[in-house]
Amino acid sequence: MSEEYRSRIERRRIQEQQKNASKGQKGKKQGKSVWKKIFFICLTLGLVMILAGIGAFAWIIKDAPKFDETLLKDPLSSEIYAADEKTLIAEVGKEKRDDITIDQIPDVLKNAVLATEDARFYEHHGIDVKRTLVAVFTNITAGTSQGGSTITQQIVKNSFLSPEKTLTRKVQEWYLSIQLERRFSKDQILEMYFNKNLYGSDVYGVAKAAERFFGLKADELDKLTLEQAALLAGIPQSPNNYIPTVESNLERAEKRRNMVLQYMNRHGYISKEVMEKAQSTPIEDTLNIQQKQGNKYQAFVDTVIEEVQNKTGSNIFEDGLKIYTTIDPEIQQITEKALSTNEYINYPDNERLQSAVVILDTQTGAIKAIGGGRHYQTGGYNYATKIKRHPGSTIKPILDYGPAIEKFKWSTGHILKDEPYQYSNGTPIRNASRSYVGNRTIRDHLAWSRNIPALKAYQEVGADYATNFANNLGFPITDEQKANESNAIGAIDAASPLIMAGAYAAFGNGGYYIEPYTVTKVIYPDGTEKDLASSKKKVMEDYTAFLITDMLRTVVDSGTGKLANISGIDLAGKTGTTSFDKSAIAKYGLPNNATRDAWFVGYTPQYTGAVWTGYTTTKSSDDYLGKQSADFSKLVFKAIMSRISTSKETFKQPNSVAKSGNEYYVKGGEKPKPPKPDKPTGLQAVYDEASNSILLTWNYNSENETTFEISYTVDGKTMSLSSTGDRKAVLQNPEKGKTYIFNVAAIREGVKSDAASASITVQGPDEKLKSPVGLHAKYDKNSNQIFISWKHPNANAQNVSYIVTYTINGNTQTLTTTTDTNATLSNPQPGQKYVITVVASNNAGTSEPTSTAVTVDGIENPNNNNNNGNAGETKPGKGNVNQNQNENQHQNQHQNQNQNQNPNQ
């Protein structure tokens, strides 16, 4: 048994060992199988990816443009249309190019281009793989956009492809670049590059660039200096930023030129010494700019070219675009006439005086006209779009009062005190008038452009809030600049007519900012259409826009902008001026009140216009704006706007706004204190004996509800009579013989006016009128008249008149009834004695008569030259006459009568 048992155990052990050995062999076989599977899977995936890549590449290049060799040499011109989409205003790119051969291009220019654009141009086959990989790595790691395109790729991109930056377009670019390299030699490709490049504005091809910038013809390119060649090589990277015909580009262009010189040194074309010498040469010393006469819409066209290139990247001179713009040709021509002729404005004869204009649609932001400057030339400096000057007081609605209304809901009647004041750093601030007016409304402060209240508003709002408000209106203020409190009064170099027009239009359209634009759409040769019109963005509440607008109405109605006002048009606007600093005044001998910049920005519901006037540079004592020329911006605005405004539409008060007196306020916000009403006029007090009452009447003009407070004073005591909305009142049963003094004041919204006053004495029943006193009559021979005068003894009597009679030869006649205390008897009979009688009369009765007599001169006595005439004087009730014994006779002399003239006493 035991042996059997052992044998069974051993057999089991042997079986288990065999089984384990079998499992090991099977595991090894299974391991090898897994790796085979992984290998085959990867191989399959790789083949699939390769096939997919090939398929994707094939799919992408199947849509690539056909390789049309004519596009390499015969670029398509672009057409620019007016707002009606029918009127062709310009065709750019149609000019004959001065194509040159590779043999005409000097080595210095070739070397500059190769060092800058494609150092391995003669080594690759259209694509510089190494440079492309470096560019991709840099883009990923540095987050910047580095170009890796070869010269061949640039030609392909500009000739066949759209400017979009996509992988599809890049693959098509590679494919077409290889095709180009297969069909043309390196020299032919380089020749195309020089002939096709854009050098800014309408300067196309290196031959045209050399002629425009340096005055060199196509057969004179061998005269190019190193500095000039380096500049030409650098411009195509960003033509509009480097074109040297624009003065503001010169600094950037010189830096770009110097960078090209550095590339030339790096690649061994020039030594370090030559590089440094060329870099030290001022760019101005290398230029000889040749001006080209533009068309009548040139400033607008140049803006269109730049806008299309910036928004689409297209080469407008060769891509065959149809460009639809916003221009109104009639408005553009009126604008040019206002700037470049003396038909509307009498400009001084100083070429450095410039003025620029932008007119745009208030509701859409579409630019209707651009006045780039006086006598603007093609590709010249566009003062309407490119200047960065101090805006002066035109900034106040944007940075001070607009933000305050938006944030605090101030009313137009909000009170700020104009007083001696300082910036936060202690520097004093002054008004232009060098005076202070105390507490006034912000409407009044804005109308008269006071600086101190504007700064107070800005400080109360806060720099951050105010700057953000301005930025939302398209007015650029950086974080570094916003720390300067003098921004509040326009001391910041950031304004252009384009920027100011865009900002102010937002006040006129209810609070929407629309970036001004000149192009509505572009249609490419393949029919693709791209919309370029700006969209609108809500940047303020409608109440802010309306309150600012209404305050700016006051500026042109009665404030600093009256000269720009246009009758019959709902117009709002703001003036702005800036001054020179003390160093410039001392250096050039300028007056202390010399103006550097003058602005006017205004708008109607239809159009917005911004006008700047100033000198490009100050080089002499004549280069400043005086009292007359500082008004040019207002006059230019009025000249243009009065001729183009066709709408009588007015600014509509939104539902969020209410009115109190003359001031507007935001519902739920600060309600302004009502203005003081005008005092009543024409107050009269009349006693009526029949009703024994005094009737008061007065005049008052007001569209608002007004009540009147009436009081009277008698015997030193003042009592209230009544309050009424009528223009009359009655005091019943006044005391006889008393004098009543009445005061009437207007009350509107709780505010009382100054009082109008009138007095009356009620005549007692038994009081008789006193006779006139001091009766005097005198004959004047020269005028042949008797002058009569007397005094009024009835100080308290009312409604007194005087009956004047005269008696001659027993016959009594009435001369006159008058309320005056003098009378005149004309053409009395010579030699006759006249008895003059005067009686006082009113409702209470008549006085006793007072008489005097006077004798008229008879026949002239040649021995008596006394021309004084005779005079008579008597007391009341008497008849004594003082006669001049030497009477002079008057012979029918008639002279001009002078009624109611008192005689010399």
Is 117 marked active-site? yes
Contact between residue 214 and residue 287 where contact means Cβ atoms under 8 Å apart: yes
Distance CA 874, CA 882 (A): 8
Contact between residue 902 and residue 821 where contact means Cβ atoms under 8 Å apart: no
Residue 56's SS3 state is helix
CA angle 549, 553, 554 (to 5 degrees): 125
Residue 256's SS3 state is helix
Give per-residue burial for 456-494: e unless 16+ CB within 10 Å, then b.
Answer: bbbbbbebeebbebbbbbbbebeeeebeebebbbbebeb
If one counts every other C-beta atom within 10 angstroms of the C-beta of residue 219, the result is 11
Distance CA 281, CA 125 (A): 37
Distance CA 725, CA 716 (A): 27
DSSP letters for 89-119: EEEES-SPP----GGGS-HHHHHHHHHHH-T
Indicate the helix (H) or strand (E) that contains 383: helix 383-386
User: Which residue reads 């000019």 in tokens?
Assistant: 95
Catalytic residue from among 78, 149, 314, 393: 393
Contact between residue 334 and residue 643 where contact means Cβ atoms under 8 Å apart: yes
Distance CA 756, CA 680 (A): 6
The answer to whether the Cα torsion of 587, 588, 592, 594 is positive or negative is negative
The answer to whether the Cα torsion of 31, 33, 34, 40 is positive or negative is positive
Distance CA 576, CA 490 (A): 8
Is 579 marked active-site? no
Contact between residue 704 and residue 750 where contact means Cβ atoms under 8 Å apart: no
Distance CA 552, CA 801 (A): 56
Residue 628's SS3 state is coil
Beta bridge partner(s), residue 674: none
Distance CA 111, CA 763 (A): 116
Q: Please name the residues in contact with 137: beta carbons below 8 A apart, sequence gap of 6 or more.
A: none
Catalytic residue from among 117, 173, 318, 406: 117
Longest dimension (CA), the chain: 206
> Cα–Cα distances in Å, from 74 out to 95, 181, 311, 591, 767?
11, 19, 24, 58, 116
For residue 335, give the amino acid letter.
T
If one counts every other C-beta atom within 10 angstroms of the C-beta of residue 748, the result is 19
* Residues belonging to the active site: 117, 393
